[in-house]
Structures are given as structure tokens and as C-alpha cells.
């Protein structure tokens, strides 16, 4: 696999890079100007947004009367009063030019049901895009993304979250690609019959032979292999097999926050050779290590109280309220997100960084980045740390476009190759 050396990337993009680690912190006004200029030249290409799941959960995919121009009033119809974090007005304010919409469905041992549900999610997302032609433009290629951006539209792509959505069938994978899916996360929170997840007990030791064929077939199709949610062994196996750049659509750096959903240095060090990117997530529990430790202590206390006051939930609720008052959740800010970007840059280079907010898939982003309007503040923070305009443009969208083009080029080189026909025994259906 060709190594994507920084000097070669810089020359190819006509950019001169400056090290933020060596630069002095920029004044706030100057940093904001640099960030705004970068996002004007290269709008955000975000790797992961869960609006499609919100449509399923809130309105059962019945969107003919749904207003996506402004979702600020959606809390009234939510059991906890939660307002959606995304709409067309706020995407524009956030300088978002391209978005991978996650056509996620929950992990399901009945994989046939998962296949049906993901097709429904593709349908509702494509219908949403079609309903807003002035704001959104469906895209399947890097060229289409760039054309949409140039016309002031938000290029809208489909990303599948969780390999259970293909029903352990390469035929289904191919047909979902034909419907427009341009990446697939190999697992979600649970293992698939062919890949281990980061947050489940490992059973395969990474990828099975069928799982490796999934990666090969995705490469042949030009479909991005997404390694967010998978175990470290699965990440490493995928990098061994992949002939095109991989992505992490919404992850952080494990050296900064030890959550298993983040990317360890063992994998970051291999990214430059593969050409892949980590699209840095905004979810506070993956960003702030202090917050992760706080949550572990809180969970332990809740488990202790439930054991102590069995059958007396009111006592547990009362005691937890006192615990929360005495031990408030540590604040997570944009600076924590920037720390992950700094670390990935130090280990893998600026060419290995993108942005994958995970909005509408989490309760809130960090302070100052609670919804999709926050990207300019993040980029101002990076500029203040010394990142150049050229580097900010790479992080915003140029790296993601380069990865898409590399995947498309590899697929074009494989145009004469027959589809892989490997079979896997389907899992037993639940009784």
C-alpha cells in the first residue's frame, strides 16, 4: 500500500504546512479569521450524523410533515424534552458542506430484520434529501460532493453503522452499495458473526475469514471501510487486508481518553501507510478522561445502592441525587476535542484527521459545541493553537475527499474483477 507522506500530500494540494506544535498561540481575533477563511475554502465534511435514527424514533419515518429547516421545537414531542441537534439552518451556521448521514439500525440477532430496517433507513434519508433540494444534494462520489459544495448545497451521503445490516451476505452488501451506501462500520456495539466490536466480549480475535472478504469486497466496490466501534484486533486485521484507505467515522484517540471506542496508538501509527483518517468525535464520554472516570464511579455507586436497597427504588433515586449533587459531572469543552486532534496529528500526521461529530446520536456535544453550529469555534481553537489555514482545510474536508477519491480509484482499478462469492452460515434465528 502506498504511503501518503506529508510532503507529497502538501505538494499535491498546493499547500505549505506549518507545525502547530512549534507555532506560538495565535491571538483570538486572528485565529477566528484563519478558521473562517479555512471553512470558507473547505467547508466541513462530517463523517457521522444520526438524524435518520431520530426520524425513526421520533416520527416513525413519517416525514411528509416534518420540518428539517428548523428542528429547534422538536423537544415538545420527545419523552425527555430533548431537542434535535441538527437542521438546515444550523448546518449552514456550522459551515457544514458535506454530511455522511448514518442509516443506523440497532444490533439484532435476527439479521434479516436488520436488513429490512436498514433499507427503510436508506429510504427515509433519501426522501429527506429529496424534500430539500435547495439545501441538500444527494452524493455518491467525491466529485459530486465537490460540485454540491461549489453550488452552496450540503452534499448528503449515506453511511451504514453496523455490519449486522448486511445479514452476513456479500450480495446484500452489494445491493446496499447500489442504493447509495458509501461506507459501512463493520460492527456497532455488539459483535457480528464475522467481526469483534470494541464494547463486546471478543469471540473471533478480530475478523473471521468471511470478515476479511467483507473488507475486500468493500474495497472492490469503492465503499469505505469504517473502523469506529470495532475492537483493536479487528482494526489491525482490517488494515492488514485493506487496499484502500479506511476511516474512523466518529472516534477519538485512546491515549487521550481510554474508552475502547477510541483509536489506540498501535493503529494510529499505521494510518499514514494506509492513507486513512480518524474523523474526531464530539461525544463527551469519548473526549474527557476525567468525565469517563466520573461515569465509572457513578455507575459503581448506582450498582452498590441497588444491591443495598433491593426492592426500594425510591431510596436508590434519593441516594443517587445526593451523590450527583456532591459529585457533579466534569465539564467537557471544545479544548478536549482539540486535544484529540493534537494527539492524532503528533502520532499520524495532519493528513490522518477529519471530523465526525456524532450529532443526534448523543445527548449533547461539549460546551460550545452542543449542536452542529459549533464547528467554527472548534476550528478557531485549533487556529489559536497554531494550526495553519492549509492544515485546517485538510481537517475540515480535504482529507475526507482525498480518502474518497483513493477508494474510488482502487475500485476503478478492480473493475474487471468478479464479485467475491464467499458464503457464511447464517446465525440461528431466535425462538
Q: Which residues are catalytic?
A: 48, 50, 161, 188, 229, 250, 358
C-alpha cell read off for 200 = 463486546
**Contacts for 116 with CB less than 8 Å, ≥ 6 apart:** none
**Among candidate residues 244, 239, 237, the one with its CA nearest the CA of residue 221:** 244
Per the CB < 8 A criterion, the answer to whether 98 and 44 are in contact is yes
C-alpha cell read off for 253 = 484517540
Long-range contact set of residues 78-85: C-beta below 8 Å, sequence gap at least 24? 82/363, 84/51, 84/54, 84/58, 84/360, 85/359, 85/360, 85/364, 85/365, 85/370, 85/371, 85/372
Query: What interhelical angle do 170-178 and 209-221 show, nearest 10?
Result: 20
Q: Cα–Cα distance between 228 and 224 in angstroms, integer?
A: 12
Strand residues in 285-431 grouped as ranges (E): 353-355
Distance of CA 313 to the CA centre of its chain: 37
Q: Three-class SS of residue 315?
A: helix
**Among candidate residues 250, 120, 117, the one with its CA nearest the CA of residue 183:** 250
C-alpha cell read off for 402 = 482525498
First-last CA distance in the chain: 46
**Contacts for 163 with CB less than 8 Å, ≥ 6 apart:** 184, 185, 186, 187, 192, 194, 195, 211, 214
C-alpha cell read off for 272 = 499514514
Q: Cα–Cα distance between 209 and 216 in angstroms, integer?
A: 11
**Contacts for 336 with CB less than 8 Å, ≥ 6 apart:** 284, 287, 288, 366
Amino acid at each position: 500500500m502506498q504511503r501518503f507522506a506529508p510532503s507529497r500530500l502538501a505538494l499535491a494540494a498546493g499547500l505549505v504546512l506549518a507545525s502547530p506544535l512549534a507555532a506560538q498561540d495565535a491571538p483570538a481575533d486572528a485565529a477566528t479569521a484563519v478558521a473562517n477563511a479555512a471553512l470558507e475554502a473547505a467547508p466541513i465534511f462530517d463523517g457521522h450524523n444520526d438524524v435518520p435514527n431520530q426520524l425513526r424514533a421520533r416520527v416513525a419515518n413519517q416525514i411528509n410533515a416534518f420540518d428539517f429547516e428548523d428542528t429547534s421545537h422538536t423537544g415538545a414531542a420527545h419523552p425527555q424534552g430533548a431537542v434535535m441537534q441538527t437542521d438546515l439552518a444550523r448546518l449552514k451556521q456550522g459551515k457544514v458542506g458535506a454530511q455522511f448521514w448514518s442509516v443506523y439500525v440497532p444490533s439484532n440477532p435476527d439479521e434479516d430484520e436488520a436488513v429490512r430496517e436498514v433499507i427503510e433507513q436508506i429510504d427515509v434519508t433519501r426522501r429527506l434529501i429529496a424534500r430539500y433540494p435547495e439545501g441538500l444534494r444527494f452524493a455518491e462520489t467525491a466529485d459530486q460532493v465537490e460540485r454540491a459544495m461549489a453550488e452552496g448545497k450540503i452534499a448528503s451521503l449515506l453511511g451504514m453503522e453496523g455490519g449486522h445490516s448486511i445479514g452476513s451476505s456479500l450480495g446484500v452488501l452489494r445491493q446496499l452499495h447500489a442504493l447509495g451506501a458509501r461506507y459501512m462500520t463493520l460492527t456497532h456495539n455488539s459483535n457480528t458473526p464475522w467481526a469483534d466490536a470494541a464494547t463486546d466480549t471478543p469471540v473471533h480475535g478480530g475478523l473471521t475469514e468471511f470478515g476479511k472478504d467483507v473488507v475486500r469486497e468493500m474495497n472492490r466496490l469503492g465503499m469505505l471501510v469504517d473502523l469506529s466501534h470495532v475492537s483493536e484486533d479487528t482494526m489491525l486485521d482490517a488494515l492488514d487486508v485493506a487496499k484502500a484507505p479506511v476511516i474512523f467515522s466518529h472516534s477519538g484517540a485512546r491515549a487521550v481518553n481510554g474508552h475502547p471506542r477510541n483509536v489506540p496508538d498501535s493503529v494510529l501509527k499505521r494510518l499514514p501507510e494506509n492513507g486513512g483518517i480518524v474523523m474526531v468525535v464530539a461525544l463527551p464520554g469519548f473526549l474527557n478522561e476525567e468525565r469517563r472516570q466520573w461515569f465509572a464511579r457513578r455507575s459503581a455507586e448506582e450498582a452498590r445502592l441497588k444491591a443495598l436497597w433491593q426492592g426500594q427504588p425510591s431510596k436508590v433515586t434519593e441516594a443517587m441525587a445526593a451523590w450527583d449533587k456532591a459529585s457533579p459531572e466534569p465539564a467537557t469543552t471544545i479544548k478536549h476535542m482539540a486535544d484529540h486532534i493534537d494527539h492524532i496529528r503528533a502520532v499520524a500526521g495532519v493528513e490522518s484527521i477529519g471530523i465526525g461529530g456524532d450529532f443526534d446520536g448523543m445527548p449533547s456535544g461539549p460546551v460550545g459545541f452542543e449542536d452542529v453550529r459549533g464547528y467554527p469555534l472548534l476550528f478557531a481553537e485549533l487556529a489559536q493553537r497554531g494550526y495553519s489555514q492549509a492544515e485546517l482545510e485538510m481537517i475540515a474536508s480535504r482529507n475526507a475527499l482525498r480518502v474518497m477519491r483513493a477508494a474510488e480509484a482502487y475500485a476503478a482499478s478492480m473493475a474487471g474483477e468478479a464479485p467475491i462469492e464467499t458464503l457464511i452460515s447464517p446465525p440461528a434465528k431466535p425462538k
